[in-house]
Amino acid sequence: MEKFDVVVVGAGPAGNAAAYTLARAGLSVLQLERGESPGTKNVQGAILYADALEKIIPDFRDSAPLERHVAEQRMWLLDENQTCTGVSHRDARFSQQPYNRYTIIRARFDRWFSEQVKSAGALVICETTVTGLLKDDAGKVIGVRTERAQGDILADCVILADGANALLGERAGLRPAIKAEDMALVVKEVLFLPKETLEARFNISGTQGVVIEIAGNVTHGMVGTGFLYTNKDSIAIGIGCMLGDMKRQQLTPCQLLEGLKRHSAVQPLIDGAEMKEYSAHLIPEGGYRALPQLYGEGWLVVGDSAGFVNAVHREGSNLAMTSGRIAAETLIALRQAGKPFTAANLAGYKQGLDDSFVMADLKKYQGVPELLNQNPHILDLYPRFVGDAAREILTVDGVPKRDKQKKILGELARRRSLLGLLGDAYKFWRAFR
């Protein structure tokens, strides 16, 4: 039977970061991916945060397939009255090298990342699904079982980088099943648009790109958000909501996406575009309070599989890469010190995460999932109110502004009691402070 220092399950950003770092340090690494090639199964918006990748491959900009750098960010509140209220932030400094955020196409990016993993010396095998973990009598994880004949493989440590579903950990009894309340379902389309048309519509040139984050009633009152990102010659547009909400509302994700695409603020941007790709994916958005056990005897879990997603800022791939890197660094340090990969020794991984932005950010927003879950009106009432208030103030009709203000505040009080407002404000402050 084949044996490796480390088997990494999954070739997304988390698994690639781990496999790359381990292989470069000279450990023997086998990475298993069920997709035909890395990236074929993966979905992201996709914004790449340079910082996390730079810490793994400092000169990634020289060879990685990047679409556009983010030169402008917009935040939009959309509702069914076809209103669009928002802010935009364009900063010339965003367009100075080295850029901080990029749009990417995961199918291409993951392939590139995987090439780096192979060059670093890891053995990468695709089209191979890991179906379970091998354990010894004491319950220590000692390898993986794949779906292929003669498919058992031994390892001193198994890194679970198998993404949002986290089925392997669940099946091996290392974690409970993820709750629908903690999972978002997102659908996304890639729409082809000639480069010149796209650049004219978004007022961009060169490698500049625009990112639009969308909230409001386009989610039909469910907890969720939408997005629209510019690639070189395509637009990525998507929308997602909590799985639990969708189940209750009996709305299909494609209905939501169609609604978003028809919205008067969005439609002109994508007009005439041809759909190139349609995909759907889960995002674990339970946050800090939903985190599972992160390590044990002979195993570690990284990325989406561990639930490392900052839903408030739509960050996931950077947490995935960072956790993959820290997991690898933990194993490398232990190997160099001649120590075995026991649970006690692997606790260093948790420590490394605690010392990084990963845990700091997850902790900061730990109250958000619950806040939104229990107060879904926050994503419905307030955006709608903002839209109505803006329309009132901007309509010039001979009514004195003071009366308009009164009317707006009166309207707010009608929709939500003073106590309710104060309560929301307090809860909001607690969740986001």
Partner 1 sequence: MHIAVCIKQVPDSAQIRVHPVTNTIMRQGVPTIVNPYDLFALEEALRIKDRTGARITVLTMGPAQAEEALRKCLSLGADEAILITDKVFSGADTLATSYVLAAALKTLDARTPIDLIFTGKQTIDGDTAQVGPGIAIRLGCQLLTYVSKICELEPTARHIVVERRAEGGVQVLKSALPAVVTMLEGSNELRFADMPGMFRAARQEVQRWNRDSIGVELAQVGLKGSPTVVAQVFGPRPKAVKALRIDGETPDAIAEAFVDKLFADHPHLEDAMLEHLELLGQQGVKP
Distance of alpha carbon 267 from alpha carbon 259, whole angstroms = 10
Query: Is 209 one of the binding residues for ligand FAD (CB under 6 A)?
Result: no
Site for ligand FAD in 322-361 (CB under 6 A): none
Q: 293, 287 in Cβ contact below 8 A?
A: no
Distance of alpha carbon 47 from alpha carbon 422, whole angstroms = 35
Nearer Cβ to partner 1 (89/148): 148
Query: Is 269 one of the binding residues for partner 1 (CB under 8 A)?
Result: no
Out of 137, 274, 397, 403, name the contact with partner 1 by CB under 8 A.
274
The site that binds ligand FAD (CB under 6 A) totals a number of residues, namely 40
Distance of alpha carbon 412 from alpha carbon 418, whole angstroms = 9
Nearer Cβ to partner 1 (148/171): 148
Query: Is 276 one of the binding residues for partner 1 (CB under 8 A)?
Result: yes
Exposure of 220 by Cβ count < 10 A (0-12 exposed, 13-18 middle, 19+ buried)?
Answer: middle
Query: Is 303 one of the binding residues for ligand FAD (CB under 6 A)?
Result: yes
Distance of alpha carbon 96 from alpha carbon 391, whole angstroms = 37
Identify which range of 147-155, 181-189, 200-208, 413-421 contacts partner 1 by CB under 8 A: 147-155
Selection from partner 1, ligand FAD, none that 125 binds (CB < 5 to 8 A by kind) is partner 1
Out of 105, 130, 166, 328, name the contact with partner 1 by CB under 8 A.
105
Distance of alpha carbon 285 from alpha carbon 291, whole angstroms = 10
Beta-carbon count within 10 A of 218 CB: 27
Calculate the CA 342 to chain-centre distance. Answer: 30
Nearer Cβ to partner 1 (162/182): 162
Nearer Cβ to ligand FAD (41/261): 41
Query: Is 119 one of the binding residues for partner 1 (CB under 8 A)?
Result: no
How far is it between the farthest Cα atoms of the chain? Answer: 84
Residue that is written with structure tokens 């007009």 in the block: 271
Query: Is 35 one of the binding residues for ligand FAD (CB under 6 A)?
Result: yes
Q: 192, 278 in Cβ contact below 8 A?
A: no
One-letter amino acid for residue 371 of the chain: L
Out of 66, 283, 328, 368, name the contact with ligand FAD by CB under 6 A.
283
Query: Is 179 one of the binding residues for partner 1 (CB under 8 A)?
Result: no
DSSP string, 222-289: SSEEEEEEE-SSEEEEEEEEEHHHHHHHT--HHHHHHHHHHSTTTHHHHTT-EEEEEEEEEEE---GG
Out of 146, 219, 225, 322, name the contact with partner 1 by CB under 8 A.
146
Site for ligand FAD in 39-68 (CB under 6 A): 41-47
Nearer Cβ to ligand FAD (276/427): 276
Beta strands in 81-182 (DSSP E): 84-90, 101-103, 123-125, 130-135, 141-146, 152-160
CA quadruple 78, 79, 81, 83: dihedral, nearest 10: -20
Query: Is 404 one of the binding residues for partner 1 (CB under 8 A)?
Result: no
Distance of alpha carbon 153 from alpha carbon 30, whole angstroms = 9
Out of 123, 154, 180, 386, name the contact with partner 1 by CB under 8 A.
123
Question: Which residues contact ligand FAD (rule: CB under 6 A)?
Answer: 9-15, 32-35, 41-47, 129-130, 161-164, 168, 186, 188, 238, 281, 283, 303-305, 309, 314-318, 320
Question: Which residues contact partner 1 (rule: CB under 8 A)?
Answer: 2, 36-37, 40, 105, 107-108, 123-125, 127-128, 146, 148-153, 192, 194, 274, 276
